[in-house]
A and B are shown apart, each in its own frame.
Chain A
Amino acid sequence: MRPNQVLLFIIAVMVCLGALCMVLPGRVAWRGHELRWPTLAEVTGTEAETSETSETSEVSEVSEESENPEGSEGTEGTKGADSVPAQEPVVIPKIQIDSTLDSRIYLRAFYASLPEAAERVVRVLHYGDSQIEEDRMTLQIREHLQARFGGTGVGLMPLAQTIPSRTVRQELYMNRRKVNPYHGPQRYLSYASREMQRADGKYGVMSQMALMADSLVPGSEEITAVCIPQTASAHYTRWQVFADSSVHYTFSGDTVRLQGRGAVYGLSQECEQGIIVDNIPLRGCLGLVFTKTDSAQLADFYSGQNVRLIIMQFGGNAIPFNEKPGTIQAIVTGLREQVQYIKACAPDASILFIGPSDMLRQTEGEWQTYPMVPYMDRLLQKMAQEEEIAYFSLFRWMGGAGSMARWQATGLAGSDGVHFYRSGARKAGNAVAEWIMEGMMD
């Protein structure tokens, strides 16, 4: 072959591919499958620019809308839909929000309770999904509050810590033999698969419990947990065990030994006075599980332990599987019921809802924000206003649509486009903590 012939071959291939661009623009449905092919404009870059602009302009568009509560219909949703070319247009209903409202006014009861920390414990519970696993984000909130109002210890942890925490390392022994937590006592979780759930709803405050002396798990009648603080701020002055009265326990240093038969709802390393911030991650959870938990149990804990702030950080797990506004609305309605339920169980506590972060997916070969993220964020904010609870928009604080890509590029978030790295979680946790603290000054 001579170079001219090779060149002719290259030209022939390019001409054929160009012809395909004209014959098969965008997507073609074929026997239930979708055949994708770029348009000439996409190949030459003009389409790509539009897409980039849509990502970067999202921030300003959202912020504009927040200044104008009567924002034009479907601003966010249209944006989301635009970023997924050739998909069926998603019609986003109008959301009216009072953007002038500083929702921290709903934390007043919590702020007012803080002076009590000089004499007794004031407890903050941080429920969330996988974004807060390993004590991520909670750690910064705890550090800020404890630095200002005193207090030590990391608070609650499950008896079998299947998900390691960066602040407390746990070793578990059954009948004095070390076991992997996954192979420890039988656990029941309100947010897990059906076989791990229980009918009576007695999961306790952590939405999970471990059963001692269960006939299925030999050796579970005597369990020892060694919980070793990993950071200076994790040191504690007292233990608490939340368990059925039939479970007996003794403490020795970082070790707690439990014997008997019954449920263990959690261990806690804490202080006599000051702030305790509990990290309660519920992996893969939409946040719709609280109503499945026995209300009396929750109410007892909330009042008995002086819980004055409950942080709920959910919504992210709804995003990848739901592309219709109606479904998102239904989920937010469900979350509203959870908020009402928690409020009823903890009438003295303030509630802060943290919305989902920006989340990316790969579509058409490009990383783009899931179309429903901005919509869910706004819906949650609206729900929070109507329920008179505080709301922190992680999504908008990050910079809106596309911000996760910037976080990835700067080593703050993982390549899955969903989870923060520790550095990112630290940044986000500090932002939430500072936002709470600033509210006190106002």
Chain B
Amino acid sequence: MMDFLHHILAFDAESPLLFTQFYFWAFFALVYALFAFIMESPLLSKSKVKSRLHLRNVYLLFVSWFFYYKTSGLFLLILAFVTFSDWVIAQQIRNAQTKDYGLRITKYKIPVATVLLALSVVIDLGLLAYFKYAYFFTNMLNDLFGTGFRVFDIFAYIGNGFSEAGRFSVDTIVLPVGISFYIFQVISYTADVYRGRIQPVKNILDFGFYVSFFPQLVAGPIVRAEEFIPQLYKPFRLSRRLFGLAVFWILNGLAKKIIMSDYLAVNIIDRVFDNPLLFSGFENLFALFAYSLQVYADFSGYTDVAIGVAMLMGFYLPKNFDSPYKSRNPQEFWRRWHMSLGRWLKTYLYIPLGGNRRIGFGTYFWWALIALVSAALTGWWWLLIPFTLLIAGVAVAHRRIVHGKWSNGKLLYSNLNSFITQVLGGLWHGASWNFIIWGGINGIGMIANKIWREMNWHVRFGSMTVLTLTLAMLDWRYNLPVWRLFAVWAGIVWTGTLIRYIWWLVTRDKLRITNYELKITNALADAWAIAQTFTFITFTRLFFRSSSNLDPATANEVAWATAKNMVNQIGGAWNNAIIPAFLWEFRWVVAMFVAGMVIHWLPADWKRRYRLRFASMPLWLMVIAVCLAILVIYQFVTADMQPFIYFQF
């Protein structure tokens, strides 16, 4: 028992508190027992609701800090510092705004509130840059200028008593868990205070609770201040149905994470991504699609659990995923995928850049930077020419729009700003080039789709035909796997476009189409669009994965080599004869993937119904259902691994 308690209480970097482990649930049960005591104890006067809520908030703050300490040790101090800094700055922003303080520089008066906001963003992003991007920037500088800089952990140096030797290593910078999430949360708070959307939180402990609420601290969702802070002052509210839904979300999340994500990862995805050359083209393609499902199941599973756990304590976190692989185009995908990040980027990056209404210094700055860095790091300085032409063209077009000579400003501005948002969003996901490439491809996909939707059917079919023929020619001429892959893909899209084009030609003059026909054709069109979007998103996943246990330079190299080798295998080492053998030998893995996709694509109404049915079942039956679900999940936790089988030699 002492060992058990020690295991629960002491920091151990090797065993953080994860939702998928028994220790988390033991921890949560203990936390909830005291939580219930605070909320229900007759020792606390019923009339003092506010003090009870305050006590609850303080209690959950310390619980959350303990949770973070268990996960990240002394990085708790960084979390505490950020909490303190943004709390103080937000107070001062409101103070400065109330009193209209300003800094006068020559004839200009800069509001102090703006300076304070900038200070807050610099501190927050500075910390994020230091911990998350130090290796990335160091490598970039070394690559660009041939220098030999190495990272230096200043916090370890201070922790060692201003010495390089001591308890902490100064040669490595460890990324604090969840820093990307809580930094974005505090920025949203300070920005919302600056914009007057919310009042600053008076009590720092309440604010600390908002920043570090443990269910969403490690992997989101990114909760904006205006969504969460009002809940701090509302009494506990959990209807019977909401309780059932909370339990459902927890089980749903665990099942997604363990049954879907982990099982697929261990049995096929990891081994293929680790060494694509060992596997045939079909296996690589299957692993890539399975990886798409795994990423979704892993991430959304974790946030489902977070949402359920928070609900049990009477807090409501925003929905983070809305069946993203049902999207019919890339824009819709980004409205359904990691929605809290998407909203954050839209509110605090895309709209300040100008959104679809304008472009300004920020837009030009980021495009110039993207051009410069792309040219410098690839060594293809000629890239500057098209980029310069693009930026010059944008400037000319912008001028024409301002003078009312061109009306497509909305499309142009939104494309330019959303591309920047996608690239920076990619960088948020990980500090390496593959994530930037991933963001860039997503940006290109969104722009291409917007332009496509602006075209009429003649232009669509014509341009698709030209593209397909070009890729086919490239494949024929160079016979490289990458051209083969693109040519086949383009061929499939072209076939679909041809069918739709013919249908459009046949029906455009037909005045009477029955509702039934319309329904069928719309359903087919949706299915086609969903399949294309899913394939495109899956393709971008080639660049989404990097090894966390490698140093950043090697991780970049490995990520690039993995993407290249997978493309080579898919486009080159294809052998239809081995597909049946693979499907048979890996039948459980394949079945799991198919089941995952089928469940994902179930109509939202069906899902809502079975969720509500679960939520409404009697409590005794729910206890049994939970135990059975955990029993099933445990079978997957302990499932034996599929052994290696080679199909291609």
Give A contacts to B, CB under 8 Å.
Answer: 1-4, 6-7, 9-14, 16-17, 20, 35-38, 43-46, 49, 130, 133-134, 162-164, 177-182, 189, 191-193, 196, 283-284, 317, 320-321, 361-365, 408-411, 414-416, 418-419, 421, 423
Give B contacts to A, CB under 8 Å.
Answer: 1, 3-4, 7, 22, 28-29, 32-33, 35-36, 39-40, 236, 238-240, 242-243, 247, 266, 270-271, 274-275, 277-278, 312, 478-479, 481, 547, 549-551, 554, 558, 568, 572-575, 619, 622-624, 626-627, 630-631, 634-635, 637-641, 643-646, 648-649
A196 near B623 with CB under 8 A, answer no
Bound-complex Cα distance A265 to B294 (A): 43
A415 nearest CB neighbor, chain B only: B270
Q: A20-B627, A180-B572, A182-B575 are in contact. Are A3 and B40 (CB under 8 A)?
A: yes
Question: Within 8 Å CB of A189, what residues of B?
Answer: 649
B479 near A416 with CB under 8 A, answer no
Could you tell me the dominant secondary structure of chain B's interface residues? helix
Tell which of A4, A37, A191, A284 touches B634, judged by Cβ atoms closer than 8 Å.
Answer: A37
B643 near A163 with CB under 8 A, answer no
Tell which of B22, B275, B575 touches A414, judged by Cβ atoms closer than 8 Å.
Answer: B275
Question: Total A-B residue pairs with C-beta atoms closer than 8 Å?
Answer: 146
A419 nearest CB neighbor, chain B only: B275
Q: A45-B7, A411-B550, A411-B554 are in contact. Are A179 and B634 (CB under 8 A)?
A: no
Question: Within 8 Å CB of A419, what residues of B?
Answer: 274-275, 278
Tell which of B40, B242, B639, B643 touches A320, judged by Cβ atoms closer than 8 Å.
Answer: B643
- What are 20 pairs between A and B in contact, CB < 8 Å? A3-B39, A6-B243, A10-B32, A11-B29, A13-B627, A37-B634, A38-B634, A46-B3, A180-B573, A182-B573, A182-B648, A196-B649, A283-B278, A283-B646, A283-B649, A284-B646, A321-B643, A365-B638, A411-B551, A411-B554
Bound-complex Cα distance A85 to B151 (A): 45
Known: A12-B623, A44-B4, A363-B638. 5 other contacts (CB 8 A): A17-B630, A20-B627, A35-B631, A49-B3, A178-B479
B22 near A43 with CB under 8 A, answer yes
B575 nearest CB neighbor, chain A only: A182
In the complex, how many angstroms separate the beta carbon of A46 from the nearest chain B beta carbon? Answer: 7
B637 nearest CB neighbor, chain A only: A365
A416 near B637 with CB under 8 A, answer no
Question: Within 8 Å CB of A9, what residues of B?
Answer: 243, 247, 619, 622-623
Bound-complex Cα distance A320 to B29 (A): 40
Question: Within 8 Å CB of B277, what residues of A?
Answer: 133-134, 163-164
A7 nearest CB neighbor, chain B only: B36
Question: Within 8 Å CB of B639, what residues of A?
Answer: 362
Tell which of B3, B619, B644 touches A45, judged by Cβ atoms closer than 8 Å.
Answer: B3
In the complex, how many angstroms separate the beta carbon of B440 from the nearest chain A beta carbon? Answer: 27
Question: Within 8 Å CB of A6, what residues of B?
Answer: 32, 36, 238, 243, 312
A45 near B643 with CB under 8 A, answer no
Tell which of B243, B558, B630, B641 touches A361, judged by Cβ atoms closer than 8 Å.
Answer: B641
A-B residue pairs, 7 tightest by C-beta = A284-B646, A414-B274, A320-B643, A3-B36, A416-B271, A415-B270, A192-B649
In the complex, how many angstroms separate the beta carbon of A410 from the nearest chain B beta carbon? Answer: 7
Bound-complex Cα distance A46 to B7 (A): 11
Question: Within 8 Å CB of A178, what residues of B?
Answer: 478-479
Q: A6-B36, A133-B278 are in contact. Are A416 and B4 (CB under 8 A)?
A: no
B266 near A362 with CB under 8 A, answer yes
A13 near B649 with CB under 8 A, answer no
A7 near B643 with CB under 8 A, answer no
Tell which of A4, A12, A49, A181 touches B36, judged by Cβ atoms closer than 8 Å.
Answer: A4
Question: Within 8 Å CB of A45, what residues of B?
Answer: 3-4, 7
In the complex, how many angstroms separate the beta carbon of B408 from the nearest chain A beta carbon? Answer: 43
B29 near A10 with CB under 8 A, answer yes
Question: Within 8 Å CB of B626, what residues of A?
Answer: 13
A414 near B649 with CB under 8 A, answer no
B549 near A410 with CB under 8 A, answer yes
Question: Within 8 Å CB of B575, what residues of A?
Answer: 182
Tell which of A179, A181, A363 touches B640, judged by Cβ atoms closer than 8 Å.
Answer: A363
Q: A133-B277, A411-B547 are in contact. Are A2 and B40 (CB under 8 A)?
A: yes
In the complex, how many angstroms separate the beta carbon of A12 from the nearest chain B beta carbon? Answer: 5
In the complex, how many angstroms separate the beta carbon of B55 from the nearest chain A beta carbon? Answer: 13
A1 near B22 with CB under 8 A, answer no
B479 near A3 with CB under 8 A, answer no
Bound-complex Cα distance A320 to B267 (A): 13
Tell which of B1, B239, B266, B278 touches A1, judged by Cβ atoms closer than 8 Å.
Answer: B239
Q: A1-B243, A10-B29, A416-B271 are in contact. Are A409 and B549 (CB under 8 A)?
A: yes
Tell which of A20, A177, A196 touches B479, judged by Cβ atoms closer than 8 Å.
Answer: A177
Q: A1-B239, A44-B4, A133-B278 are in contact. Are A180 and B479 (CB under 8 A)?
A: yes
A14 near B275 with CB under 8 A, answer no
Question: Within 8 Å CB of A411, what residues of B?
Answer: 547, 549-551, 554
Question: Within 8 Å CB of B312, what residues of A?
Answer: 6
Question: Within 8 Å CB of A46, what residues of B?
Answer: 3
B39 nearest CB neighbor, chain A only: A3
Bound-complex Cα distance A352 to B22 (A): 48
In the complex, how many angstroms separate the beta carbon of A307 from the nearest chain B beta carbon? Answer: 24
Question: Within 8 Å CB of A180, what residues of B?
Answer: 479, 481, 572-573
A359 nearest CB neighbor, chain B only: B644
Q: A362-B266, A363-B640, A414-B274 are in contact. Are A162 and B649 (CB under 8 A)?
A: yes
A418 near B627 with CB under 8 A, answer no
Question: Within 8 Å CB of A130, what residues of B?
Answer: 278, 646
In the complex, how many angstroms separate the beta carbon of A192 from the nearest chain B beta carbon? Answer: 4
Best-surrounded residue of B29, B239, B638 (most CB of chain A within 10 A): B638
A20 near B4 with CB under 8 A, answer no
B644 near A416 with CB under 8 A, answer yes
Question: Within 8 Å CB of A37, what residues of B?
Answer: 631, 634
Question: Within 8 Å CB of B236, what residues of A?
Answer: 2-3
Question: Within 8 Å CB of A421, what residues of B?
Answer: 274, 558
Question: Within 8 Å CB of B622, what residues of A?
Answer: 9
B268 nearest CB neighbor, chain A only: A416
In the complex, how many angstroms separate the beta carbon of A327 from the nearest chain B beta carbon? Answer: 14
